[in-house]
Amino acid sequence: MYVAILIVSYNVRDLLRACLQSVYEDVARTSGLRVEVVVVDNASADNSAAMVADEFPLVHLIASEENLGFARGNNLGMRLLGFGGASREASEEAIERPQAVFLLNPDTELQPGALAELTGFLQRNPNAGGCCPRLNYGDGRFQHSAFRFPGILQLWLDLHPIPRLMETRLNGRYPRHFYESQKPFAIDFALGAALMVRSEAIDEIGLLDEGYFMYAEEVDWQMRLHQKGWPLYCVPSARVTHYEGQSSRQFRRAMTVALWRSRLRFFEKYHPQWKRMAERWLLARAMKQRIAEAERALAAGASDAMVLQEQLEAYREILSWL
């Protein structure tokens, strides 16, 4: 099988290096697999692009002069691969069209056999639109890699967490024993940190929605896969370590704002009016509560005043949309 591995990276040079090393190590141990690795660097300031060029000469590097975000960055890579109606003849070096595209975050590392399990699943299941691996955190703890599409209850739990419900179906989680069984299971959507999608499915649904800068873009993409009749699966026998959110942590306020802007965009696109009104009411109520709590803490002379001020600015901006 021939697969393109597409990595969009921003200021995580050392993690990106480890990610690429794990990719090539797994390719070397997987017979019958060809890969093209494409890295889109989102104007990193830590010499990530230079590191890739120096240490991984086989990688097709796209060094963007601006931070394109997740959707635009991945779309740039997929257009280079011939998706989205783009002509590959415009590039300096045409890339052969792959049978599948594997979106992979730079803060991940493939465990031995991950590529063999994912590509093998797609070969055995020609009607599957895509698949994802089982994830674990850097310290080895289990991480959910697949979820049910978000609704009002999940939104409420996100805004008002109840610990005993956070790992349940009510919060969109699949049971842990699904992963432990090592058998593939059908899912609504996978985290964009590690998601392999069949090329024919991409042709039918198109590229990622560039109206999202970060967050929810992969949820939107996979909603469109389901709408076109392309089911998705988790393949827990494929394992990937995810160091989670290293790029997004670099801009706390901006990422908080981006998260809720993206979620609202998703709700507007796919939820009926009554549900959108309820979701906006819940979010506005929660933002008002958080603003009041932050203001009280600042008035009391909290030691983390700079963090609270940053949070206040984010909450007020979100509230201004509602």
pLDDT in tens, 70-83: 999 999 999 999 99
Can you tell me the mean pLDDT for 44-71?
95
pLDDT class of 315 with cuts at 50, 70, 90? very high
- What is the chain's mean pLDDT, rounded? 93
* Percentage of residues in the chain having pLDDT higher than 70: 95
Are the C-beta atoms of 26 and 118 separated by less than 8 Å?
Answer: no
- The amino acid that residue 318 corresponds to is I
Tell me the HSE value of 236 on the side-chain side, using a 13 A CA sphere. 18
pLDDT class of 86 with cuts at 50, 70, 90? low
Out of 53-57, 222-226, 299-303, least confident range: 299-303
DSSP notation for 166-216: TTSGGGTBPPHHHHHT-S-EEESEE-TTEEEEEHHHHHHH-S--TT-SSSS
Out of 23-37, 54-68, 293-307, least confident range: 293-307
Question: Which residues sit opposite 232 in a β-bridge?
Answer: 130, 187
Can you tell me the mean pLDDT for 215-236?
97
Can you tell me the mean pLDDT for 90-101?
76
90 SS3 class: helix
pLDDT class of 90 with cuts at 50, 70, 90? very low
Statement: residue 17 has pLDDT above 60: yes
Which regions of the chain does DSSP assign to beta strands (E)? 2-9, 34-42, 60-64, 100-104, 108-110, 130-136, 142-143, 146-147, 185-187, 189-190, 194-198, 232-242
CA distance 68 to 73: 5
Query: What token pair was written down for 149?
Result: 């599409």
pLDDT class of 246 with cuts at 50, 70, 90? low
pLDDT of residue 91: 47
Stated length of the chain: 322
Statement: residue 245 has pLDDT above 90: no
CA distance 73 to 64: 9
Q: How far apart, in Å, are the Cα atoms of 143 and each of 28, 160, 173? A: 27, 21, 11
Query: Which sign, positive or negative, has the C-alpha torsion 76, 82, 87, 89?
Result: positive
Q: How far apart, in Å, are the Cα atoms of 297 and each of 257, 292, 294, 306, 316? A: 21, 9, 5, 12, 16
Full-model pTM: 0.92
pLDDT class of 89 with cuts at 50, 70, 90? very low
pLDDT of residue 96: 86
pLDDT class of 209 with cuts at 50, 70, 90? very high
